[in-house]
Chains A and B, each alone.
Chain A
């Protein structure tokens, strides 16, 4: 198998809080393959946005410690000095943020945003050439009257148009790694469908890798090649998206799927929920993070942290019992 673009190993992230040290990431191992779209799913507090923040080097101010390594094409990003990391952002790594309202500067036109991005990527690019490429980029994301739109300000555009502009900006960078943090969450349903269709179109012509962070399993199933399921600051399962969703190995993945309401359940059937609460980030990391809520937890799960280990071709799961639970007779999570 080709060397992955990014190899994350034992990535830990801790932050100081009034209550003590919060373990936001508890040892993440994840490979991002070249030209792959990796969907990262998890509930709030699972660490998925923090993972993206580590990848692009934009970390919260109360951060107290970061450990492990993020090897990006042979370079450990965590070992890079701040100035060097700065040079990577907007050139080799780009990001589409969740809220297109706040990600654009209200004082600058759309054209200024696009040309800025281009001139950062290609210093010395002539203004005229930059403008032509900006127009082409707007057209490629389905914005009508692109030459006119260059002189529009963000407030003159609708939410869907702004998200298209952000996608155009990210594509102009031609990054090796594109991070998209809930890119459709702030949009209305029919506009979201447009952006999803656009992303599906664009992925074919995109040479880099994409990390798509989402809480919607359905969206990830539709757009991604690989899936990474996070829980409590750990990766609990990874693998090709169809395999993971078709036959999940980790009880949490199974529980998450059971909570999806898209089944044709009998009228009046109880809705499925996972009892209990997400783990406290301040708690010590001495057991499986899901053990408290897992119906299959044993003493072994409560006494040691399970390693992320092979669970089929290209798949990994952090569960000591996945083999026996995957056996056909194993009780499912569905109630």
Chain B
């Protein structure tokens, strides 16, 4: 681990009741299931999509990942499931690097870390029935067919998908059903880690609760570990135990979700939270409107990458890059002048 101190995931972050429902990692002895150790990804030798990311995810945790487009969220997910190779640094799953996993037992690793893709409908071939799409991994992974099909039937029932859905084509099912088919396809592999990229994007509010309840139930029943990417801050607040905020390829703020939402330490987090329009005026944050847009990762600003838009930037911020440092138990911030951790919300 680098500057951040001991692995985040190995620290108790909440009471037992919370950890039971939100999957916080409470045991101080278990090593983290997933460890990002100084991971950078550089595309074309110049686009720094990820920059020195160090992050630990404990078994059974639900970690939320937030940030705007271009912040590196998707790259981080792809690196975790082995779809993108880090340019430097290592990602370890269960103590072994993803590169080694992929070299030695690629299929086993792919089963272990499953990804729920953002566009659930597009992730299903339009020319295959749902049944065929779900059976394909059985052949690829050489799973016992009869038994797996029995498991599949049980999963479908669990997800509230009728058997008839198997004979349909993707265009014949609803968006919510397509999401659940994606979940079924991932669960069939009996994964340990599920990376969910915007699992509620495009879902109406009346059904997003169902899907999130389902993901929470499955986490409990199968001991799953989630990395959940969402631009919907309300979803992250309600569902995750820990939140990681990214900006231009770097982690800028990290902490127990409850603490981070109550007292954002990084000015970017504060601004992001203030953009969340609440129906109840009493629940709105003080509005912080940032100037400009997220700069290019090809030529990121000097010093602190956020200083060009930061409402409280000082001269030092333009020259000296801040390190991600621990400001409180389980709380890391990449800022020279973080906000105090008292409750800022009114």
Contacts and interface: CB of A to CB of B under 8 A. Distances in A.
Interface string A44-86: 1000000000000000000000000000000000000000000
A261 B68 contact: no
A190 B275 contact: yes
A304 interface: no
Interface string A268-288: 101111100110000000000
B22 interface: yes
Contacts of A217: 279
Interface in A245-280: 245, 255-257, 259-263, 265, 267-268, 270-274, 277-278
A221 B238 contact: no
B272 interface: yes
B163 interface: no
Interface string B206-241: 111110110000000000000000011111011100
Q: With a 10 A CB-CB cut-off, give which of B234, B238, B284, B291 has the most chain A CB atoms.
A: B238
A44 to B, nearest CB: 6
A257 B279 contact: yes
A47 B205 CA distance: 16
Secondary structure dominating the interface of B: helix
Nearest to A191: B293
Nearest to B204: A43
A193 interface: yes
Contacts of B237: 261
A219 B212 CA distance: 23
B279 A197 contact: no
A271 B206 CA distance: 10
Contacts of A159: 293
A77 to B, nearest CB: 30
B18 A268 contact: yes
Interface string A201-225: 0000000000000011111011000
B210 A193 contact: no
Interface in B31-80: 68-69
A260 B279 contact: yes
B315 interface: no
B39 to A, nearest CB: 24
A188 B289 contact: no
A263 B282 CA distance: 11
A265 B238 contact: yes
B21 interface: yes
Contacts, number: 117
Interface string A176-213: 00000000000011111110110000000000000000
Interface residues of A, number: 41
B128 interface: no
A215 B205 contact: yes
A44 B176 CA distance: 12
A267 B275 contact: no
B281 A189 contact: no
Given A267-B22, A273-B209, A218 B279 contact: yes
Contact of B234 (A193, A257, A261): A261
A151 interface: no
A158 interface: yes
Nearest to A219: B277
Interface in A214-242: 215-219, 221-222
A160 interface: yes
Given A257-B279, A265-B238, A273 B20 contact: no
B276 interface: yes
Interface in B256-284: 258, 271-272, 274-281, 283-284
A104 to B, nearest CB: 17
Contacts of B6: none
Interface string A143-161: 0000000000000001111
A193 B294 CA distance: 13
21 contacts: A158-B293, A160-B293, A161-B293, A188-B231, A189-B276, A190-B68, A190-B272, A215-B204, A215-B205, A218-B279, A221-B280, A245-B279, A257-B279, A260-B205, A261-B234, A261-B237, A261-B238, A271-B209, A271-B212, A271-B239, A272-B209
Closest 7 A/B residue pairs (Cβ): A268-B21, A218-B277, A273-B209, A261-B234, A271-B209, A274-B206, A43-B204
Interface of A: 43-44, 158-161, 188-194, 196-197, 215-219, 221-222, 245, 255-257, 259-263, 265, 267-268, 270-274, 277-278
Interface of B: 17-18, 20-22, 68-69, 174-175, 204-210, 212-213, 231-235, 237-239, 258, 271-272, 274-281, 283-284, 287, 289-291, 293-294, 309
